[in-house]
Chains A and B, each alone.
Chain A
Amino acid sequence: MSDHESTYVPKTGIEKWLDSRLPIVRFGADYMSLPTPKNLNYWWTFGGILALCLVVQIATGIILAMHYVPNTELAFASVERIMRDVNGGDIIRYTHANGASMFFIAVYLHMLRGLYYGSYKAPREMIWIVGCVIFFLMIATAFLGYVLPWGQMSFWGAEVITNLIGAIPLVGEPILIWLRGGPAIDNATLNRFFSLHYLLPFVIAGCVVLHLWALHHAGQNNPVGILIPKDRTAKDTVPFHPYFTVKDGFAIVLFLILFAIFVFFMPNALGHADNYIPANPLQTPAHIVPEWYMLPFYAILRAIPDKFLGVVAMFSAIGVLFILPWLDTSKVRSMRYRPAMRTFFVIFVLVGIGLGWCGAQLPDSPVVPGMPSFQLADGMLNSYLWLNRLLTFYYFLFFIVLMPLVGLRETPRPIPATISEPVLPGGGDAMTSAAPASPEKKG
Chain B
Amino acid sequence: MILKTNIQSMKKTLVLIALAAGLSLAAQPALASGGAKHPHSGGFSFEGPFGTFDQGQLQRGYKVYREVCSSCHSMNLMHFRTLAEPGGPFYEEGQVNPAENRFVKALAAELQVPDIDSETGEPIMRDAVAADKFPSPYPNATAAAAGNGGAAPPDLSVMAKARHDGADYIYSLLSGYRAAPAGLEIRPGQHYNPYMAGDLTPFWKGQGHVPEGGFIAMPPPLRNGQVTYDDGSAQTVDQYAKDVAAFIAWASDPKQVQRKQSGMGVLIFLFLFAGLTYVSYRRIWKGVAH
Chain A directly contacts chain B within the complex, with at least one CB pair under 8 Å: yes
Within 8 A of B (CB), among A251-299: 253-254, 256-258, 260-265, 267-270, 272-274, 276-278, 286-287, 289, 292, 295
**Contact residues in B for A370 (Cβ distance below 8 Å):** none
Q: How far is the CA of A286 from the CA of B31 in the complex (A)?
A: 9
**CB distance B277 to A250 under 8 Å?**
yes
Interface string of A81-101 (1 = CB under 8 A from B): 101100000110010000001
Contact of A83 among B25, B255, B277, B288 (CB under 8 A): B255
User: Which A residues are in CB contact (< 8 Å) with B13?
Assistant: 42-43, 109
The interface residues of chain B lying within 8 Å CB-to-CB of A323 are none
A132 contacts the other chain (CB 8 A) = no
Bound form: Cα–Cα A260–B259 in Å: 11
The answer to the question of A238 belonging to the interface, with a C-beta cut-off of 8 Å to chain B, is: yes
Contact A246 B263 (CB under 8 A): no
A84 and B254 contacting across the interface, CB-CB below 8 Å: yes
B101 to chain A minimum Cβ distance, whole angstroms, is 16
Picked from A81, A250, A272, A292, the residue with its CB within 8 Å of the CB of B278 is A250
Contact of B9 with A105 in the complex, beta carbons under 8 Å:
no
- Is the Cβ of A357 less than 8 Å from the Cβ of B23? yes
- In the complex, what distance in Å separates the CA atom of A418 from the CA atom of B30? 50
B57: A residues at CB distance < 8 A: none
Asked if A108 is an interface residue, CB under 8 A from chain B, the answer is yes
Chain A residues in 8 Å Cβ range of B277: 246, 249-250, 253
CB atoms of A268 and B290 under 8 A apart = no
B interface majority secondary structure: helix
Q: Are B274 and A250 in contact (CB under 8 A)?
A: yes
**Inter-chain contact B270/A253, CB cutoff 8 Å:** yes
A-B contact number at CB 8 A: 144
Question: Does residue B162 face the partner (Cβ distance < 8 Å to A)?
Answer: yes
User: Do B284 and A246 touch across chains, with their CB atoms under 8 A apart?
Assistant: yes
B204 CB to nearest chain A CB (Å): 19
Select the stretch in B110-118, B153-161, B177-185 that faces chain A.
B153-161
**A443 → B minimal CB distance (Å):** 22
Asked whether A243 is an interface residue with its Cβ less than 8 Å from the other chain, the reply is yes
CB distance from B139 to the nearest CB of A (A): 16
The docked-state distance in angstroms from the alpha carbon of A318 to that of B143 is 48
B186 adjacent to chain A (CB < 8 Å): no
Chain A interface main SS type: helix
Chain A: minimal CB distance from B260 (Å): 6
**B10-40 interface bits toward A, Cβ cutoff 8 Å, 1 = contact, 0 = none:** 1001101101110111111011011000000
- Whether B290 contacts A269 by the Cβ 8 Å rule is no
B266 to chain A, nearest CB (A): 5
Let me know if A101 and B24 touch, CB within 8 A.
Answer: yes
Size bracket of the B interface: 35 or more
Interface residue? A329 (CB, 8 A): no
Are B31 and A287 touching (Cβ within 8 A)?
yes
For the complex formed, measure the closest distance between the CB of A297 and the CB atoms of chain B, giving whole angstroms: 14
A265 to B253, CA, bound (A): 12
Q: Which chain B positions have C-beta within 8 A of A199?
A: none
Assembled-state Cα–Cα distance A83/B24 (Å): 24
**Contact assessment for A361 and B255 in the assembled complex, using a CB-CB cutoff below 8 Å:** no
Taking the complex as formed, is A41 at the interface, i.e. its CB lies under 8 A from any CB of chain B?
yes
Cα–Cα distance between A91 and B26 once the two chains are bound (Å)? 25
**What are the residues of chain A within 8 A of B267 when measuring CB–CB?**
257, 260-261, 264
A264 touches B2 (CB 8 A): no
Residue of B nearest to A292 (CB): B24
Task: Assess the A90–B253 pair: CB atoms within 8 A.
Answer: yes
**CB-CB < 8 A to A94: which residues of B?**
259
Are B281 and A250 in touch, CB under 8 angstroms? yes
Smallest Cβ-Cβ distance to A268: which chain B residue: B161
Which residues of chain A have C-beta atoms less than 8 A from B278's C-beta? 250
CB interface residues, A 47-90, toward B, < 8 Å:
77, 80-81, 83-84, 90
Stretch at the interface among A133-141, A174-182, A394-402, A419-427: A419-427
Contact A243 B284 (CB under 8 A): yes
Measured in the bound complex, the distance between the Cα atoms of B76 and A269 in whole Å is: 25
Contact, CB under 8 Å: A83 / B5:
no
Q: How far is the CB of B278 from chain A (nearest CB, A)?
A: 5
Asked whether any CB of chain B lies closer than 8 Å to the CB of A356, the reply is yes
Residue B280 at the chain A interface, CB threshold 8 Å: yes
Within 8 A of B (CB), among A186-202: none
**In the complex, what residue of chain A is closest to B199 when comparing beta carbons?**
A286
Contacts of A24 in B (CB 8 A): none
Specify the chain B residue showing the minimal Cβ separation from A360: B27
Interface residues of A (CB under 8 A from B): 38-39, 41-43, 77, 80-81, 83-84, 90-91, 94, 101, 105, 108-109, 238, 242-243, 246-247, 249-250, 253-254, 256-258, 260-265, 267-270, 272-274, 276-278, 286-287, 289, 292, 295, 353, 356-357, 360-362, 420, 423-425
| Interchain residue pairs with CB less than 8 A apart (10) | A42-B10, A109-B17, A238-B288, A243-B285, A254-B10, A260-B267, A263-B263, A272-B28, A289-B27, A356-B27
Q: Which 3 A-B pairs have CB atoms at the shortest separation, nearest pair first?
A: A264-B263, A292-B24, A360-B27
Task: A83-B253, A258-B21 given; name 12 further pairs at CB < 8 Å.
Answer: A43-B9, A243-B284, A243-B288, A246-B284, A246-B285, A262-B21, A265-B260, A270-B25, A289-B27, A353-B19, A356-B23, A362-B33
